[in-house]
Every structure is written in C-alpha cells, then in structure tokens.
C-alpha cells in the first residue's frame, strides 16, 4: 500500500519537492523544435511547475528561461525577439538565450550594471526534433540518455506530444500495466476471430498473464508471459526508465526502437512525448490488428484530433476528445460490444481512464493486485532513488551514466518455453536490430 506521505512525495514535482529535485537531475524534452521559429515570438511553456518562455534567436539558438524579466518581473512572453536575444517591452532590457543581460537602454551608461544581471535560464539542446532542457543544479549538464532510438539520424525519428490532464505518475503507470490491454483495448475481441500470428492473439487468448519483475540499472522491468502452444511462451516485455520514461510492448521486439516520456508540466498536467524509429516495427507505423477476414479490429485506431494550440501556459497539444465531452465515448458501440470501452483510439482509451482518476490519484482508495507488481515496484524504485538524492546526495540511476539505458527495450515475441525470462530477453536483444551509436550526442 502506498502511504499518504509516499503519495505526496511521488506526485509533487515543484522546486524543492522530493520528486521534483529528482526530475531536475535529467534532460527533459520540453517542446518540438518546430514550435519555435528563428526570430519568432516567444512560447509560453510550463515545466515542473515553473512558468517559462521558449524562443529561438536570430542565430537559431533556443532559449528557455523564467518568464519574469529580472528587472521588474514583467512577462518576457510579451518580449520582442531581436537580433541575438529577446527584449522586454517594459524598459527595453535585452537578454541572450543563455539569460545574460545584453542591454539596459533605460539606464545611463555610467550606471549600467548589465554584467551583474541574468535572467534565470536553463541549458538546452536539440535532438530528435525536440528541444531538451536541463533544469538541474550542475554547472556541467549530464549526458543525454542513451536510448537506442537517439542513435538514429534525426530524419529517421518521429516525435509527438499529447497533453494529459492528470499527474505524471498515474499516466506513466498506465504504460507499465500490461494486463489492461486485454480489457480496455481488446475486451471485445475473441481469439478465434484472429489468426494466431496476429500480435494481440495471445493477449486475448489468455487475459491474465503471469509476471516476472526486477529492478534494473535503468529502473524496473516486467515480463508478462502466457502459454503459446506446446513448448512455446508469448512474452511481453516493458520497462520503466528514470525519471519518467517507459517502453511498452506495442512492437516486435527485434525492431522496436521507441521510448515514451511522461513529462510533468505541473502536479496536475503531463505532456506525453513519444519518440520512435520510423523504419522500425511498432504501433506508430504499422497497421492495427485485423480479424481473419482482414477487417480492422474496432477501437484500435491511432488518429488523435487536437484542439488549436493557444498561448496559455497549458494551451499546447490538447486533444479534442476530453473530459468535457466524455472522451467522445460511444455508448452504443460499448453496448453492442463493437468497442469494449466505447472509445475509439488506444491512446484515447488510456487518456480517459487515467484522467478519470482525478488530477492526482488518491492512493488510499487503491487495492493493488498481483497484476500490479510492476506498479508497486516502480513506485518503490522512484521513492528510494529520490530519498537517496535528498538525504545523501546520491545521483539517481542514469543521471550521470546515460549508457545504462542502452540495453533497455520493450516488445513482444514468442519463444521456447524452456528459457528463463532473463535469458529470453538477452537472447532477443543479442539478435535485435541495433543502430550504431551516433556522434550526435553532444550536450553543449
């Protein structure tokens, strides 16, 4: 059971909180590179409860900084993007992307003190079509996480954001809960309606898998497994990777290069970030499951309609289907068992159930089951690392050694029943398609 104190420590991410300080030890994806144009207007950005602005200067450098001008605290969202910096419209003070004050035009030259003033700015780097931000205390930032997908050239990588109106933890835990797939996503599908080589066949043939769970160098790992005929086992491997990343078994293990981040905007809003290899095999670029006659299985669409972005702090990448319209639930489709949940789209189904828990889940109402072992283990792993950082200054996993993420992969496969789960994983990884490490990992 997660206690009240543990619940608070796990879910609060603001500056000075236990989990907030852990999050600040890592690079975090904050926005798409395409969201800030060279010399264009600033963008309001919320991250770990901080109100920030992002902009790209005339030289192409991206700045991410506190929205308050350090002079009189007028919002730099209103600022002018001028040559090599951003200028506050209140008194004309100008700041570089690094936060350094470049100009104080309302101060007489003999009283100028711009060399003593800086806006609170964070380090940034662009990779995989994303702007990454480091909000931690180190003078030299840590390395980027060495996810396999970041070894792929940027033009072979896909990335997208979707905002979710709930705490990051309950959103993340939806990804590491494998048994819900046979109900929420595929409860209306019977195994005899599918061919045995369909990716979800074994998931619906036996909806209560057995589990193996372990702590790993990158976080935690689960293996959900089921019998798949004489001498065969169907495996679904997934991972939690510090501080908020997951890998899910929605692609064939050998070619599945993907990570999914649950970036806390504040305590009650999360930005889902998925990064995938376009040439790999995953749910992002493959056709969905189909019945034997080739008809697509209902409810498993992947299209997501967005509301227009606004300039509000939380105005980016919001789904048009939301709590205000019951996530466009079709009660007739639910009643007729055309779609188990009545909600079309796997992502939207997850969105609905995790948002329906409330902005921050009250863990005192939970009754965790054996199928929730991965959730319980991951909470414990997060708390242990966050408290070790707070109490003894111990860097959390992967904060200083990004290579611990290199052997983490999620995916499904069918293998021989005689192999243990860790041997089955290692064997698949040894034969997997793995891109060569790239030189595009500079963190300056």
User: Could you tell me which residues are beta bridge partners of residue 270?
Assistant: 164, 264
Q: Which of 386, 429, 435, 423 is nearest to 219 (CA)?
A: 386
Cα(249)–Cα(227) distance, rounded to whole angstroms? 17
Cα(246)–Cα(151) distance, rounded to whole angstroms? 18
Cα(27)–Cα(128) distance, rounded to whole angstroms? 13
Token couple for 140: 């030299």
pTM value is: 0.95
User: Could you tell me which residues are beta bridge partners of residue 124?
Assistant: 133
**Strands of the 85-87 sheet, one edge to the other:** 80-82, 85-87, 94-95, 101-103
Q: Which fold has domain 150-430?
A: Naphthalene 1,2-dioxygenase Alpha Subunit; Chain A, domain 1 (3.90.380)
Cα(37)–Cα(417) distance, rounded to whole angstroms? 54
* Contact call for residues 162 and 316 (beta carbons, < 8 A): no
| pLDDT in 10s for each residue of the chain, 444 residues | 899 999 999 999 999 999 999 999 999 999 999 999 999 999 999 999 999 999 999 999 999 999 999 999 999 999 999 999 999 999 999 999 999 999 999 999 999 999 999 999 999 999 999 999 999 999 999 999 999 999 999 999 999 999 999 999 999 999 999 999 999 999 999 999 999 989 899 999 999 999 999 999 999 999 999 999 999 999 999 999 999 999 999 999 999 999 999 999 999 999 999 999 998 888 888 888 889 888 989 898 878 899 999 999 999 999 999 999 999 999 999 999 999 999 999 999 999 999 999 999 999 999 999 999 999 999 999 999 999 999 999 999 999 999 999 999 999 999 999 899 999 999 999 999 888 765 444 444
pLDDT the model gives residue 438: 58
Q: Which fold has domain 27-139?
A: Rieske Iron-sulfur Protein (2.102.10)
Token couple for 191: 């195994």
Domain residue limits, the chain: 27-139, 150-430
Token couple for 330: 């079709």
pLDDT the model gives residue 280: 85
């Amino acid at each position: 059971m997660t206690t009240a104190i543990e619940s608070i420590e796990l879910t609060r991410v603001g500056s000075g909180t236990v989990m907030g300080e852990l999050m600040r030890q890592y690079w975090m994806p904050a926005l798409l590179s395409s969201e800030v144009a060279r010399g264009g207007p600033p963008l309001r950005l919320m991250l770990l409860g901080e109100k920030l602005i992002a902009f790209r200067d005339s030289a192409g450098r991206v700045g991410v900084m506190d929205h308050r001008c350090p002079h009189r605290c007028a919002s730099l969202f209103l600022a002018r993007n001028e040559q090599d910096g951003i200028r506050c419209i209140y008194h004309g003070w100008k700041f570089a992307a690094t936060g350094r004050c470049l100009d104080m035009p309302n101060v007489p030259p003999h009283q100028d003190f711009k060399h003593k003033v800086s806006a609170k700015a964070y380090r940034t780097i662009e990779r995989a079509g994303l702007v990454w931000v480091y909000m931690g205390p180190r003078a030299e930032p840590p390395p980027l996480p060495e996810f396999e997908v970041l070894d792929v050239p940027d033009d072979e990588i896909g990335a997208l954001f979707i905002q979710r109106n709930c705490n990051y933890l309950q959103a993340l835990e939806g990804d590491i809960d494998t048994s819900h797939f046979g109900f929420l996503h595929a409860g209306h599908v019977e195994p005899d309606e599918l061919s045995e080589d369909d990716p979800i066949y074994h998931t619906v043939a036996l909806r209560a898998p057995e589990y193996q769970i372990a702590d790993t160098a990158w976080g935690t790992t689960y293996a959900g497994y089921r019998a798949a005929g004489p001498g065969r086992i169907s495996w679904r491997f997934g991972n939690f990777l510090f501080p908020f990343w997951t890998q899910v078994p929605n692609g064939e293990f050998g070619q599945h290069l993907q990570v999914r981040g649950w970036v806390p905007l504040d305590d009650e809003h999360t930005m889902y970030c998925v990064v995938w290899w376009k040439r790999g095999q995953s749910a992002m670029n493959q056709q969905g499951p189909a019945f034997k006659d080739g008809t697509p299985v209902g409810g498993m669409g992947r299209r997501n309609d967005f509301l227009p972005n606004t300039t509000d702090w939380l105005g980016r990448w919001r789904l048009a289907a939301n709590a205000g319209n019951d996530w466009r639930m079709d009660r007739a489709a639910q009643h007729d068992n055309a779609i188990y949940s009545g909600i079309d789209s796997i992502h939207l189904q997850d969105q609905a159930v995790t948002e329906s828990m409330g902005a921050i889940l009250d863990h005192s109402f939970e009754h965790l089951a054996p199928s929730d072992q991965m959730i319980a283990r991951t909470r414990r792993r997060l708390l242990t690392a966050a408290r070790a950082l707070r109490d003894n200054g111990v860097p959390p996993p992967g904060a200083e050694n990004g290579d611990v993420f290199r052997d983490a992969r999620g995916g499904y496969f069918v293998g021989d029943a005689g192999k243990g789960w860790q041997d089955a994983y290692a064997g698949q990884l040894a034969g997997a398609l793995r891109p060569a490490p790239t030189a595009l990992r500079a963190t300056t």
